[in-house]
């Protein structure tokens, strides 16, 4: 019995590492362990999304809000706009911009966060990108806040959280990659949740619908952003775990994250 238990434990560990490290011999469509890992990833993101308002997840919530607002700022800068200030608070934030392409700026918060999290997960297949992606993941929110609003107490808090995250990454690279990607995924459906359980007009979708003069599009816009995020994550998982037929050599080297 001990032998079977040890074998099951080893198999579970192999599946977990494969989900993070991009094991090239894993077939996402046929390996039940990997599929179970993906379901676990989705469940983790959903639980975090529901528990973000609780005090013990305050650092997580603050970090995700900082990332969300940083993506709005990045969308403004990339589309030729100006960022006047970035306010990051517990549970919510505001990015004040002018100019630029407003639909891109409005959608960048959730879709941009999902795109970055999926890229972080997929970078496991590109060893040269792993360290730069981690550094940018912890550095981008404080830098955006610095350029967008100058030094503030919330920026200092985000710097402390980012430093702790990078230190944890050095100790537990694979689990932290999984957790951080899951946290970014949890942000994907938040606009829909806020529409259903909060004030719809204060969501990114509601603000964009108001800008277009069609407030009735709030829920469709929120759903479209969520579905775009789902597509982004699904693409990242397919890239990280391609079918066996995609490989010419069954003995591909293992990638250390």
Does any domain span residue 249? no
| Domain assignment present for 164 | yes
CB 144 within 8 A of CB 69: yes
DSSP state of 187: T
Angle between helices 153-171 and 127-149 (to 10 degrees): 170
Domain count, the chain: 1
Which tokens in the block code for residue 97? 């911009």
- Give the residue among 63, 215, 225, 214 at the shortest CA–CA distance from 144: 63
The residue range of the domain holding 91 is 2-240
pLDDT tens for the chain, 257 residues long, are 444 445 545 554 555 455 445 444 444 445 555 566 567 666 776 677 777 777 777 888 888 888 889 999 999 999 999 999 888 887 788 899 999 999 999 988 888 888 888 888 888 777 788 888 888 888 898 888 888 777 778 888 888 988 888 898 888 888 888 788 878 877 777 767 776 666 666 788 888 998 999 988 888 888 888 888 878 877 877 777 655 554 444 444 443 44
Q: Is residue 257 part of a domain?
A: no
**Whole-prediction pTM value?**
0.73
Q: Does residue 29 lie in a domain region? A: yes
Specify whether the CB–CB gap between 121 and 28 falls below 8 A.
no
Domain annotation covers residue 95: yes
Whether 245 is in a domain gets the answer no
Q: Is the dihedral of CA 107, 113, 118, 123 positive or negative?
A: positive
Asked if the structure places residue 247 within a domain, the reply is no
**pLDDT given for residue 78 in this prediction:** 93
Q: Is residue 90 part of a domain?
A: yes
Residue 214 token pair: 């069609």
pLDDT digits (tens, 9 = 90+) for 153-199: 888 888 898 888 889 888 888 888 878 887 887 777 776 777 666 66
């Amino acid at each position: 019995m001990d032998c079977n238990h040890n074998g099951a434990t080893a198999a579970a560990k192999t599946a977990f590492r494969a989900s993070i490290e991009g094991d090239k011999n894993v077939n996402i469509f046929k390996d039940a362990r990997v599929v179970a890992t993906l379901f676990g990833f989705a469940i983790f993101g959903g639980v975090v999304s529901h528990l973000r308002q609780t005090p013990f997840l305050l650092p997580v919530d603050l970090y995700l809000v900082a990332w969300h607002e940083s993506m709005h700022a990045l969308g403004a800068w990339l589309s030729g706009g100006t960022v006047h200030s970035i306010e990051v608070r517990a549970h919510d934030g505001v990015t004040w911009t002018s100019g630029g392409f407003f639909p891109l700026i409005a959608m960048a918060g959730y879709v941009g966060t999902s795109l970055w999290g999926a890229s972080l997960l997929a970078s496991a297949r590109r060893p040269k990108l792993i360290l730069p992606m981690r550094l940018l993941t912890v550095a981008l929110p404080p830098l955006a806040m610095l350029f967008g609003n100058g030094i503030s107490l919330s920026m200092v808090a985000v710097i402390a959280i980012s430093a702790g995250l990078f230190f944890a990454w050095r100790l537990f690279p694979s689990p932290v990659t999984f957790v951080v990607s899951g946290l970014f995924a949890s942000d994907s459906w938040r606009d829909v949740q806020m529409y259903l359980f909060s004030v719809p007009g204060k969501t990114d979708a509601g603000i964009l619908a108001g800008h277009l003069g069609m407030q009735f599009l709030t829920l469709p816009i929120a759903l479209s952003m969520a579905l775009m995020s789902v597509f982004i994550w699904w693409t990242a998982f397919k890239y990280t775990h391609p079918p066996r037929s995609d490989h010419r050599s069954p003995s591909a080297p293992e990638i250390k994250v």
